[in-house]
Amino acid sequence: MNRSSDSSLTGIRGCLIDCLEDPFLISDYRAVRWFLDGLLVIQSGKILACGNYEQLIESYPGLKITHYPDRIITPGLIDTHVHFPQTAIVASYGKQLLEWLELYTFPEERKFQDFEYAAGVAEIFLDELLRNGTTTAMVWTTVFPESTEALFQAAQRRNLRLIAGKIMMDRNAPDYLLDTAETAYRQSRSLIEQWHDRDRLSYALTPRFAPTSTPEQLQITQQLQSEFPSVYLQTHLSENLGELAWVKELFPDDRDYLAVYERFGLVHDRSVFAHGIHLSESEFARLASAGATLAFCPTSNLFLGSGLFKLHEAKAPERPIAVGLATDIGGGTSFSLLQTASEAYKVSQLQNQTLSAVQMLFLLTLGGARSLSLDHAIGNFEPGKEADFVVWNCRSTPIMDFRNRAEIQTWEDLNDRLFSLLMMGDDRSVDCVYILGDRVSLPQVATAPDKAFG
Ligand SMILES: [Zn+2]
Query: Ligand 1 centre from 332 Cα, in Å?
Result: 9
Query: Ligand 1 centre from 397 Cα, in Å?
Result: 31
- Tell me the β-bridge partners of 193: none
Query: Ligand 1 centre from 49 Cα, in Å?
Result: 37
Would you say residue 341 has pLDDT above 70?
Answer: yes
Local structure of residue 401 (DSSP, 8 states): H
Digit-coded pLDDT (tens) for 136-188 = 999 999 999 999 999 999 999 999 999 999 999 999 999 999 999 999 999 99
Query: Ligand 1 centre from 236 Cα, in Å?
Result: 6
105 φ/ψ angles, rounded to the nearest 5 degrees = -70, -50
pLDDT at 451: 47
Query: Ligand 1 centre from 239 Cα, in Å?
Result: 9
Query: Ligand 1 centre from 104 Cα, in Å?
Result: 13
Query: Ligand 1 centre from 277 Cα, in Å?
Result: 13
For β-strands 32-43 and 9-19, DSSP reports them as antiparallel
Would you say residue 1 has pLDDT above 50?
Answer: no
Digit-coded pLDDT (tens) for 5-28 = 567 899 999 999 999 999 999 999
**Cα angle 291-360-34, degrees, rounded to a multiple of 5:** 110
Mean pLDDT within 280-293: 98
Digit-coded pLDDT (tens) for 41-72 = 999 999 999 999 999 999 999 999 999 999 99
57: left (phi over 0), alpha (psi -120 to 50) or beta: alpha
Which pTM was predicted?
Answer: 0.96
Query: Ligand 1 centre from 441 Cα, in Å?
Result: 29
Q: Which domains are seen in the chain, by residue range?
A: 3-76+380-440 (2.30.40.10), 77-335 (3.20.20.140)
Cβ neighbours, 10 Å, residue 349: 11
Query: Ligand 1 centre from 375 Cα, in Å?
Result: 23
Query: Ligand 1 centre from 210 Cα, in Å?
Result: 13
Handedness of CA 157, 451, 166, 235 (dihedral sign): positive
Query: Ligand 1 centre from 209 Cα, in Å?
Result: 9
Spatial separation of the C-alpha atoms in residues 349 and 352, rounded to whole Å: 5
- 140 CB burial (10 A radius; 0-12, 13-18, 19+): buried
Pick the closest to residue 422 from 343, 326, 308 (CA basis): 343
Query: Ligand 1 centre from 87 Cα, in Å?
Result: 12
Query: Ligand 1 centre from 22 Cα, in Å?
Result: 26
Pick the closest to residue 18 from 327, 450, 369 (CA basis): 369
